[in-house]
Amino acid sequence: METWLARIISFAEQYPEIAKDATTVMRWVFVVLAAYILLVSIFSLLTTRCTPEIWGYFLVEDGGNFPITHWENVIGRSRSSDIHIPLKTMSNSHAILSRKSEDKWVIKDLGSKNGTVVNGFPLEPGRRYMISLGDEIVMGGVHATVAPASLEESRNNEVMRRLDKEPVAPWKILVAITLFQFLTIIQLILGLGDKITLSAIISILLLSAVMWTYVTVFKAIGRKGFEMEMIAFFMSTINLAVTTSFDPGATLKEFIALLMGLALMIFMCIYLRDLERTRKLKPVLIGLSVVLLILNLLLGTASFGATNWIEIGNYTFQPSEIVKLAFICVGAGTLEELYNKRNTIVYAGFSLFCLACLALMSDFGTALIFFATYLVVSFLRSGDFSRLIFTGAGAGAMGVMILKFKPYIASRFQAWGHVWEPEFVDSMGYQQTRTMSFGAGGGLLGLGAGNGSLKYVGASNTDLVFGFVMEEWGFIIAALLVLCLITLTIFAVMSIIAGRSTFYTICACGAATMFLVQTMLNVFGAVDLFPLTGVTFPFVSTGGTSLLTSWAMLAYFKASDMRRNASLAVGKEEQRA
Amino acid sequence: MRKQEKRALICLLIAAVLCIGVVVFGVRFVRDGGRWASFYGNTQIYTDGIINRGIVMDRNDELLIQCAREGVTYSEDSTIRKATIHAVGDPAGNIASGAISIYKSQLIGYDILNGTYDTDQSGKKIQLTIDANANVAAYNALAGRTGAVGVFNWKTGEIVCMVSTPSFDPYGYLPDDEDSSYYFNNFLDGALTPGSTFKLVTSAAVIDTLSDRGKFKFDCDGTNEFSGVDFTDIKTHGEVDFRDALAQSCNGAFGALTRKVGAAKMKEYVRKAGLVDPVEFDGIRTAGGKFKFPSDDDVTLSWAGIGQADDLVNPCALMIYMGAIANGGEAVQPTLIKSATFIKEITGGKSLGRYLDEDTANELRNMMKYNVQSNYGEENFPGLDIYAKSGTAETGSWNPDAWFVGFTDGANDPYAFVVWVKDGGYGSEVAAPIARTVLETLEADE
């Protein structure tokens, strides 16, 4: 293999015109392949909506029957109740009805005015009561009962679900990504010449192999939806190309981190299937996060102004990245938990702790990501818009304080919007102007992987990676990468309709917010739409911990994918017939 | 769950912000990409701060400058280098209107699709409209004096000669001071006392406003005292009519004519002649002119009407005005970049609008011909159908500035020209021969 590589390099050196022509053609091929891979995946993800599963019926005397399409349901007078009973005697949110298993349900009165009575026994508000199918429930004079979905109804629902549009088959996309990866290797050899290393090439080949193995194995056990993984594998390919162009010696390490992330994602997907099990993990996650952050504060090493790294031997990692995963899980909750004050306080306290630690580390970019995620998750939990604004304003005031005490950050704000002015162009605006200049130099098609020059600017493969991709891969591919993350968000929001538990949907929306805010800070910071904060672009920025976390985060999206047999984070549908 | 459905829309809001941000950046990318890419911080196209690709040629494919990774190469001929440096520009960018500064993004071959990607990385070729030989002729004729020579084709707008002195050899000593007069392009950026060349503007106003100009008579006694001030002429012209007043460049007569026309009309005509506002073409913006015509001070008004007082004119604008007279009153925008000329030859260059009525332009044209016949001598311009006006501008220096402006007509040589020599002396003696030399060189190059 080494001689084969040497032969290509010497050929390219001997015939530079041919090498140049190859790049000229490949630039087009890359854009076409990328557009195909991503647009097909995005289209499939956004058009294959699913019919909600029916878990049972809520039968109301003289009032018809309501199909229960979620594991967790609010019963009440409010129009936004899942089981909407418009009677004056009902409270707005009267009670919560949750499914525990095929024939076990839990009911909890939410402190309603007229109370809830089950089989003649008045329920204490705020306590959970196990009920069985057929038990009589009286709420504000309404007599009701939970009934199983009849065999016929189940079959009809099953037929409906079978008629849902199937996710796109992964094979064509796989071939396209593989072709993309092979051409990337060739382009990197042409671009980097003898600077390329064998380990970098092998890493990209291994990525291809891992991708095929993943899809083949899970396809074999009956899984169908792979769009999100395809998007992630594609973005990871760009990551490895960027990493190689920047430093071919680092590619293998990056690939290993990716592998760990993929393993963690599979593990999390399987773990997330069981809601009770996941809920119980929360205190453990809080504990681990606290330990990690405190270790970071004690042992952390500084890089670009922020002390957010821990060094162990030859390995460094960013604890705050790992804590992101826990942060989302802790913020999520079942419908019952959302009505539980203590749960909300624990989440707020944990958030405050994380933010304080990040502030002490001077990692304000990550702090901003955590804070935005906290705001969105809190809003999803409480729906309290005024509190959202209030908290946001409070944080804004804190931000102004930070600017006063941290002149380094204040100076970044000064340069914001003025980076081209002579005063900043070679100082505080250095990175942004270079990002835009080299990025514009890439045009729509890019200069070809390995041919860029932004890599000689500090943090180009992390904070400025948007410009790095623009220069080497072109504006079209860079914009498509952003589109990928927007797609994941739209999917997360859409999935709520068929969602089983608020836990999963909050997880998905929280993860989406985290991705979005991170992308925003990364892209906007690099091109002077926002002060440069120095955060990574999910999946694309070089950095083991960042890539690992991005992959693991994907589990939260997978867990909200309710399409029939689509996601490995959802137990395979039992044959109920 | 249904509540969460609605609340989750906030995520879409954030996604929308991200989307809008990328679109905003995309718009800027399309609009400013060329400027960003040609920024000096882009080491793809700059080596040690000097642009590293692209070629600039003259209209006859004579190499003027070649930029490569190995460095910048100018013409082999040192006179060509000195005669074209203001048109070509220096890599350090001290000459603001030099081609390699202004046409950077074209030179590096930037386009939105490919960015700075170029199959052989040698960049693009830019062909200027100037003729290196004509520039050399002008540079030699200026003979070390400070000055400016500009010639353009008044039909197509192509600037065929543009020289400014003092000049320098880019291979030789480069002044450190970026404001040095060596870097200054007198033709594009100068604002100079026009002297008697300005009588062509006053004449246009006279033609349009004084219908009885045919009866105009002025008795020049050489001193021409008015309100206690002498409007002295070189010699005593005796009795002159309007036509001879221009041909003899009689200050006394033109002072009187200016007073007849009045301040308001003079203001109107100097603007109509395009001498006030800066001219913009091909990314270049010339200096504007400055004129004051007081309505309550006939002495100053008279001086202003004969191109003295506070009058300041930009040579390029004056050249365009000459082109407008030649072209029946319609001015053509100059250009420095050579493009598909066969279209321009048919349709003409881009119009800057009508400066003068056709009749006015034709009368001026005849008068300028008469200037040559009666004063400068047609025999001094063999083979040229030339129309002109000289100027000798008093600037308070030891010697007046010499001017010679006008145009030639003919299928092959529709050229309007302006020659200015600082402290040169008499326009017709000093500047006219320079014009002749340059025009003859152009003729020979056709």
Rounded CA-CA distance A473/A466 in Å is 10
Work out the minimum CA distance from B27 to partner chain A, whole angstroms: 12
Task: Test A21 with B19 for CB contact under 8 angstroms.
Answer: no
Phi and psi, residue A84, nearest 5°: -100, 110
What type of residue is A268? M
* Dihedral (CA of B84, B86, B89, B90) sign: positive
For the segment B242-247, the average pLDDT, to the nearest whole number, is: 94
Whether B11 sits inside 8 A of A486 (CB atoms) is no
> CA of A379: which chain B residue's CA is closest?
B7
Please report the pLDDT score of residue A577 as a whole number.
31
User: Sheet containing A72-76: which strands, arranged edge to edge?
Assistant: A83-84, A72-76, A95-99, A104-109, A128-132
The pLDDT value given to residue A574:
46
Q: Return the biggest CA–CA distance within chain B.
A: 106
Q: Do B11 and A493 touch (CB under 8 A)?
A: yes
Average pLDDT over residues A65-78: 88
pLDDT at A567 over 50: yes
Rounded CA-CA distance B148/B417 in Å is 11
pLDDT at A304: 64
> What residue has token string 């007569």?
B253
Please tell me the predicted confidence (pLDDT) of residue A184: 97
**In order of start, what are the domains of chain B with their CATH numbers?**
36-128 (3.90.1310), 189-445 (3.40.710.10)
With an 8 Å Cβ cutoff, are B2 and A440 in contact?
Answer: no
A187 has a chain B CB within 8 A of its CB: no
pLDDT of residue A572: 64
For residue A531, whether the previous peptide bond is cis, meaning omega lies within 30 degrees of 0, is no
Q: Tokens standing for B189?
A: 């950026």
Give residue-wise pLDDT tens across range A116-157. 999 989 999 888 899 988 899 999 888 999 988 777 777 777
Q: What is the pLDDT of residue A464?
A: 96
Over 90: is that where the pLDDT of A450 sits?
Answer: yes
For residue A429, CA distances in Å to A433, A465, A532, B81, B437 come to 6, 16, 9, 37, 52
**pLDDT at residue B346, as a whole number:** 62
Cβ pair B117:A502 closer than 8 A = no
Per residue in A292-316, pLDDT (tens digit) is 999 998 887 776 667 778 877 777 8
Q: What percent of chain A shows pLDDT beyond 70?
A: 98
B-chain residues near A502 (CB < 8 A):
1, 4
Q: Report residue B29 CA to chain centroid gap.
A: 33
Q: Which neighbouring-strand residues pair with A130?
A: A106
* Cβ A75 vs Cβ A336: under 8 Å: no
How far apart, in whole angstroms, are the C-alpha atoms of residue A455 and residue A438? 10
Say if A82 is an interface residue toward chain B (CB within 8 Å). Answer: yes
Burial class (CB in 10 A: 0-12, 13-18, 19+), A180: buried
For residues B46 and A202, what is the distance between their CA atoms, to the nearest angstrom?
35
Scan residues 342-361 of A and list those with Cβ closer than 8 Å to B: none
Q: In the sheet that A136-139 helps form, which strands lie side by side, from edge to edge?
A: A64-68, A56-60, A142-147, A136-139, A116-118, A121-122
Lowest mean pLDDT among A399-413, A458-472, A509-523: A399-413
Instruction: Write out chain B residues lying below 8 Å of A471, CB-based.
Output: 115
pLDDT at residue A419 tops 50: yes
Residue from B344, B323, B315, B350 nearest B409 by CA: B323
Count CB-CB contacts under 10 A for residue A115: 17
CB distance B18–A512 less than 8 Å? no
Flag whether residue A426 sits within 8 Å of chain B, measured between CB atoms: yes
In whole angstroms, give the CA distance from residue A545 to residue A363: 15
Q: What is the pLDDT of residues B256-271, one digit of tens each?
A: 999 999 999 999 999 9
Task: Report the share of chain A in percent with pLDDT over 90.
Answer: 54
Cα B4 from chain centre = 69
pLDDT digits (tens, 9 = 90+) for B17-46: 999 999 999 999 999 998 999 888 888 888
User: Which of B5, B10, B11, B107 to probe the A interface (max A CBs under 10 A)?
Assistant: B11
| Cβ pair B430, B402 in contact under 8 A | yes
Contact A442 B115 (CB under 8 A): yes
- Per-residue pLDDT, B347: 65
Cβ atoms of B391 and B404 closer than 8 Å: yes
Tell me the chain A residues in contact with residue B21 when contact means C-beta distances shorter than 8 Å: 520, 523-524, 529
Give the type of residue at A399.
G
Instruction: State the pLDDT at residue B15.
Output: 96
What is the chain A residue with the closest CA to B24? Answer: A529
Determine contact, residues A55/A69, Cβ cutoff 8 Å.
yes
Q: How confident is the model at residue A576 (pLDDT cuts 50, 70, 90)?
A: very low
The reported pLDDT for the residue numbered A305 is: 66
Contact at CB, B22 and A482, closer than 8 angstroms: yes
Inter-chain CB proximity A20 and B12 less than 8 Å: no
Answer whether A443 sits within 8 Å of B21, measured CB to CB. Answer: no
User: pLDDT at position A160, please?
Assistant: 78
Contact between residue A507 and residue A328 where contact means Cβ atoms under 8 Å apart: yes
Is residue A61 helix, strand or coil?
coil
Residue A225 pLDDT greater than 70, yes or no: yes
Is pLDDT at B342 greater than 70 in this prediction? Answer: no
CB B236 within 8 A of CB B252: no
Are A508 and A494 a contacting pair, CB within 8 Å?
Answer: no
A538 touches chain B (CB under 8 A): no
Number of Cβ within 10 Å of residue B276's Cβ equals: 16
| Residue B331 β-bridge partners | B353
Q: Which tokens hold the place of A478?
A: 């860079």
Asked if A54 and A154 touch (Cβ cutoff 8 Å), the reply is yes
Q: How many CB pairs under 8 A join A and B?
A: 164
